[in-house]
């Protein structure tokens, strides 16, 4: 999505883990059910990705040249798959926790963003390295409408995106993908289970 320069809000660069299409679809359906129940935009304001690191451009810095090469390096030596854990509440937002090498990817992601001349942001609206954003904690105070999907995957990608967050917390975000590096590892040993329709 192209970001209008006239838009207001917090502009940040985000490195994120992007799951395969079937996992993103299952997660999107689940988040749609949260939106249907809570009628809160926080469940739909971000794409189906796991934020790993946030950075900002230093004042008067030239635009960074994002290439896939830096992201390819971040995958070196990363082994194992990813699977959904329990919901995690952090900084006013509920996440579907994700098990796997997220801590190492977050650390490497910060290095990638710093290598591009960016400064790691300490004011990111979302907590990095926890899991998939679901909705604002206040929306789900009475409990989630159904258990989150049991996700499991190995094939995924690292994505660098420019994100402009809305002026109201968790209300809206516009993003533009700048670079992507896929990690082709074959099918998961334990496939995701689809949500029941109803």
Split at pLDDT 50, 70, 90, the class of 19 is: very high
Share of the chain above pLDDT 90, in %: 37
Distance CA 9, CA 171 (A): 11
Nearest residue to 158 (alpha-carbon basis) of 91, 98, 42, 78: 78
- For 68-92, the pLDDT digits (tens) are 777 888 888 888 999 999 999 998 8
Nearest to 110 by CA among 36, 13, 11: 13
Q: Any idea which of 15-19, 94-98, 120-124 has the lowest mean pLDDT? A: 120-124
Q: What is the pLDDT of residue 148?
A: 86
Measured distance CA(93)–CA(90) in Å, rounded: 5
The span from the CA of 173 to the CA of 170, in Å, is: 8
pTM beyond cutoff 0.95: no
Helices (H), 87-181: 102-115
pLDDT of residue 29: 92
Residue 46 has pLDDT above 60, yes or no: yes
- Lay out the sheet containing 93-99: strands in order across: 131-136, 93-99, 82-90, 152-153
Token pair 């070196």 is at which residue? 76
131-137: average pLDDT = 89
Number of Cβ within a 10 Å radius of residue 132: 28
**What pLDDT, on a 0 to 100 scale, did the predictor assign at position 192?**
55
């Amino acid at each position: 999505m192209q970001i209008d320069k006239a838009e207001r809000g917090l502009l940040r660069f985000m490195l994120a883990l992007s799951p395969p299409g079937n996992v993103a679809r299952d997660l999107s359906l689940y988040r749609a059910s949260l939106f249907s129940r809570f009628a809160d935009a926080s469940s739909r304001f971000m794409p189906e990705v796991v934020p790993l690191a946030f950075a900002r451009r230093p004042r008067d810095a030239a635009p960074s040249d994002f290439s896939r090469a830096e992201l390819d390096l971040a995958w070196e030596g990363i082994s194992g798959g990813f699977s959904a854990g329990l919901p995690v509440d952090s900084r006013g937002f509920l996440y579907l926790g994700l098990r796997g090498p997220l801590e190492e990817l977050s650390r490497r992601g910060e290095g990638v963003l710093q290598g591009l001349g960016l400064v790691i942001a300490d004011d990111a609206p979302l907590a990095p390295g926890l899991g998939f954003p679901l909705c604002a904690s206040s929306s789900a105070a009475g409990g989630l409408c159904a258990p989150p999907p049991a996700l499991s995957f190995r094939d995924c990608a690292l994505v660098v995106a420019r994100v402009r967050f809305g002026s109201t917390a968790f209300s809206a975000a516009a993003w533009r993908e700048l670079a992507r590096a896929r990690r082709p590892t074959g099918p998961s040993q334990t496939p995701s289970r689809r949500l029941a329709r109803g």
